[in-house]
């Protein structure tokens, strides 16, 4: 009976994919012979009746061809897919992740904003393979297709390039899950790691194509595609000869090679990792020699601004507490802002203080309340709270766009965006400790991602912190990319950033710390978290979870995944 059900499921799957493909509509195909002017580095040929565009460069540089596309046609489409077959030879290493072989759209939205979505690419030599991506588009002013090389050398060839409107199958019932062959994910140098992935639909094993992305901290990386048969897993083997981690991700692809997405926009994917001698990892770049002296001067600048409450207005009153929207004078370009909750009827000197710091975002502070503590949620930017969405969207597109990632600002600590953020965090703590309801003894700090970075910074720069709780901590070991560690999502290393590296603040923390992090976190790779753990000198409890990414994978179940807890 189960076999019949499985076969029936496969049949439905095949019919659904066939029906979707039959309804897909080609919106644009470039005509290489008519639209490309031949040069010594750019030529068009006919091979087996198919147009082939060849672009080459002897040394790293730019050589791209663009084709205008009807913007109205793209705007009217529900789901747009750009797909191309690509063959490449001796493509040099790309200086930035977005450089390399370009299969890209150049878009100008109705509001003037620009976007350049592109297909994944790799260095080296590769046979013909499909490169593609999908995107939902708003109203456009203009659009162009871009093919070629950017800041690299080598030869690339393109054929069968199409922009299509496609009907996407329903992927909400699909899952990619997986396990490593060792529960604690700990291996010896050179020892084989075995990662096993499974593709499921309605809890039944189904066939499909997976894109495997593997990165290792010996500088090796690869991306390849593998067809998975029903009832058979996808097995990836790897090893590492030095301290560090191997990270592997399996991503379901649709019939056009585009990552399959659920209705919530999340990719159907899963990640696993294994480590070698993580407890020996040291930070990639030493901390600045004047770290303490520099922060002493920064705190003097903060002290020069009198502690003054600019605003404390009642936001709302709940069954538990009164919640206030507060603003406090601070050094820098903005005041402290945040939500303060104080339990009703609290007596002077009766309550512990809990400080909360936010992740990377541009939004209002959040309300956190409890019957047994003062809670202060600090806005990361000192901006207004409880405003309309358009207010935050304008800041995210404008002044706060890509904050903390601007290389020019990060050359010096004085111009780094995170300086004023941390000064606001310190002033928020200073203010909260003046509240009459505080018991004068207990101060707990917590945050996730960027909030964990802020938590460690405040703990490292303050006295008498009771404990810190860190979830998926960010900004760890920023210099790790200089020694070949997995990049994750962090700025290019720059001289000014050493004063803000979470692992440098960690050396100065004097209270117990609890850490929860993911072995499969491609935003905050496990090597950086381990350097944080190794740099802490106080009692630490760290739990590393297999299969946990920064945003939880659809197939992730926190109650069932393998986990290992380390203590010192």
Task: Output the domain CATH number for residue 319.
Answer: 3.40.50.1820
Task: Output the domain CATH number for residue 233.
Answer: 2.60.40.2550
Residues 545 and 458 in one domain: no
- The answer to whether position 4 is within a domain reads no
Residues 56 and 86 in one domain: yes
Domain boundary among 165, 187, 202: 165
Domain boundary among 165, 187, 213: 165
- Supply 286's token pair: 């030493």
Task: Please give the mean pLDDT across all residues of the chain.
Answer: 93
- The answer to whether position 346 is within a domain reads yes
One DSSP character per residue, 479-518 reads GGGGGT----S-PPP-GGGGGT-HHHHHTT--S-EEEEEE
Residues 132 and 252 in one domain: no
| Spatial contact of 69 and 163, defined as CB atoms under 8 Å apart | yes
Residue 23: its pLDDT value, please?
57
Domain boundary among 165, 191, 206: 165
Residue 422 CA to residue 507 CA, distance in Å, equals 17
Residues 211 and 225 in one domain: yes
- The answer to whether position 285 is within a domain reads no
Residues 189 and 127 in one domain: no
Residues 313 and 347 in one domain: yes
Residues 345 and 444 in one domain: yes
How many structural domains are present in the chain? 3
Residue 134: its pLDDT value, please?
87
Residue 427: its pLDDT value, please?
98
Task: Output the domain CATH number for residue 60.
Answer: 2.60.120.260
Give CA separation, 208 vs 21, 167, 268, 557, in Å.
15, 17, 12, 22
pLDDT tens track, the chain, 568 positions: 333 333 333 333 443 443 344 457 899 999 999 999 999 999 999 999 999 999 999 999 999 999 999 999 999 988 899 999 999 999 999 988 889 999 999 999 998 989 999 998 989 999 998 899 888 888 999 999 999 999 999 999 999 999 999 887 789 999 999 999 999 999 999 999 999 999 999 999 999 999 999 999 998 888 888 999 999 999 999 999 999 999 999 999 988 888 898 888 889 999 999 999 999 999 999 999 999 999 999 999 999 999 999 999 999 999 999 999 999 999 999 999 999 999 999 999 999 999 999 999 999 999 999 999 999 999 999 999 999 999 999 999 999 999 999 999 999 999 999 999 999 999 999 999 999 999 999 999 999 999 999 999 999 999 999 999 999 999 999 999 999 999 999 999 999 999 999 999 999 999 999 999 999 999 999 999 999 999 999 999 999 999 999 988 888 888 899 999 999 9
- The answer to whether position 7 is within a domain reads no
**3-class state of residue 333 by DSSP:** coil
Residues 466 and 382 in one domain: yes
Tens of pLDDT, residue by residue over 384-397, are: 999 999 999 999 99
Residues 403 and 456 in one domain: yes
- The answer to whether position 292 is within a domain reads no
Domain range for 35? 25-165
Residue 97: its pLDDT value, please?
82
One DSSP character per residue, 151-220 reads EEEEEEEEEEEEEEE-PPP--TTEEEEEEESSTT-EE-TT--EEEEEEEEETTEE--EEEEEEEEETTS-
- The answer to whether position 45 is within a domain reads yes
Residues 377 and 413 in one domain: yes
- The answer to whether position 286 is within a domain reads no
The H-or-E segment that residue 291 falls in is helix 291-303
Task: Give the dihedral sign, CA 19/20/26/29.
Answer: negative
Task: Give the dihedral sign, CA 491/492/496/500.
Answer: positive
The residues near 89 (Cβ < 8 Å, ≥ 6 apart) are: 125, 154, 155, 156
Residues 133 and 186 in one domain: no
Residue 247 CA to residue 215 CA, distance in Å, equals 5
Q: How far is CA 377 from its chain centroid?
A: 23
- Supply 379's token pair: 């806005």
For the entire predicted model, the pTM comes to: 0.85
Residue 5: its pLDDT value, please?
39
Share of the chain above pLDDT 90, in %: 85
Residues 123 and 269 in one domain: no
């Amino acid at each position: 009976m189960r076999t019949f059900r499985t076969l029936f499921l496969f049949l439905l799957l095949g019919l659904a994919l066939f029906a979707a493909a039959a309804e897909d509509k080609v919106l644009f195909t470039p005509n290489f012979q008519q639209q490309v002017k031949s040069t010594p580095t750019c030529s068009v040929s006919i091979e087996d009746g198919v147009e082939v565009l060849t672009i080459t460069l002897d040394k790293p540089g730019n050589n791209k061809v663009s084709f205008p596309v009807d913007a109205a046609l793209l705007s009217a489409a529900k789901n747009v897919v750009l797909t191309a077959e690509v063959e490449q030879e001796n493509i040099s290493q790309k200086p930035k992740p977005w450089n390399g072989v370009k299969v890209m759209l150049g878009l100008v939205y109705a509001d003037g904003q620009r976007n350049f979505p592109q297909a994944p690419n790799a260095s080296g030599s590769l046979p013909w393979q499909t490169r593609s991506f999908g995107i939902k588009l708003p109203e456009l002013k203009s659009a162009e297709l871009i093919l070629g090389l950017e800041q690299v050398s080598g030869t690339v060839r393109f054929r069968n390039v199409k922009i299509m409107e496609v009907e996407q199958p329903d992927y909400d019932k699909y899952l990619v899950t997986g396990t490593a062959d060792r529960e604690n994910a700990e291996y010896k140098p050179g020892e084989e790691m075995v990662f096993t992935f499974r593709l499921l639909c309605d809890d039944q094993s189904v066939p499909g194509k997976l894109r495997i992305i593997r990165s290792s901290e010996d500088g090796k990386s690869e991306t390849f595609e593998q067809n998975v048969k029903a009832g058979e897993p996808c097995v990836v083997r790897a090893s590492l000869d030095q301290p560090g981690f191997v990270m592997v991700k399996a991503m379901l692809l649709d019939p056009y090679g585009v990552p399959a997405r659920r209705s919530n926009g999340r990719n159907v994917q899963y990640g696993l990792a294994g480590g070698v001698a993580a407890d020996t990892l040291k930070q990639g770049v030493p901390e600045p020699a004047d770290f303490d002296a520099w922060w002493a001067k920064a705190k003097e600048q903060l002290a020069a601004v009198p502690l003054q409450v600019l605003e404390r207005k009642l936001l709302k009153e709940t069954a538990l507490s009164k919640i206030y929207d507060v603003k406090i004078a601070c050094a820098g370009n903005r005041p402290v802002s945040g939500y303060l909750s104080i339990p009703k009827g609290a007596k002077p000197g009766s309550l512990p203080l809990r400080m909360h710091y936010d992740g990377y975002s541009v939004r209002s502070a959040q309300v956190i309340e409890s019957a047994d503590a003062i809670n202060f949620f600090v806005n990361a930017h000192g901006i207004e709270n409880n405003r309309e969405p358009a207010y935050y969207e304008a800041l995210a597109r404008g002044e706060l766009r890509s904050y903390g990632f601007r290389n020019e600002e990060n050359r010096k600590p004085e111009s780094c965006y995170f300086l004023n953020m941390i000064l606001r965090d310190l002033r928020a703590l200073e203010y909260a400790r003046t509240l009459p309801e505080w018991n004068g003894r207990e101060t707990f700090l917590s945050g996730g991602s960027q909030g964990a970075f802020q938590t460690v910074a405040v703990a490292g720069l303050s006295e008498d912190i009771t404990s810190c709780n860190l979830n998926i901590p960010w900004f760890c070991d920023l210099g790790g990319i200089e020694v070949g560690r997995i990049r994750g999502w962090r700025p290019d290393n720059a001289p000014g950033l050493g004063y803000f590296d979470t692992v440098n603040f960690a050396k100065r923390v004097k209270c117990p710390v609890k850490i929860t992090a993911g072995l499969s976190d491609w935003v905050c790779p496990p090597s950086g978290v381990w350097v944080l753990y190794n740099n802490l000198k106080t009692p630490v409890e760290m739990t590393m979870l297999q299969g946990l990414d920064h945003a939880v994978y659809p197939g992730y179940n926190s109650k069932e995944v393998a986990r290992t807890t380390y203590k010192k």
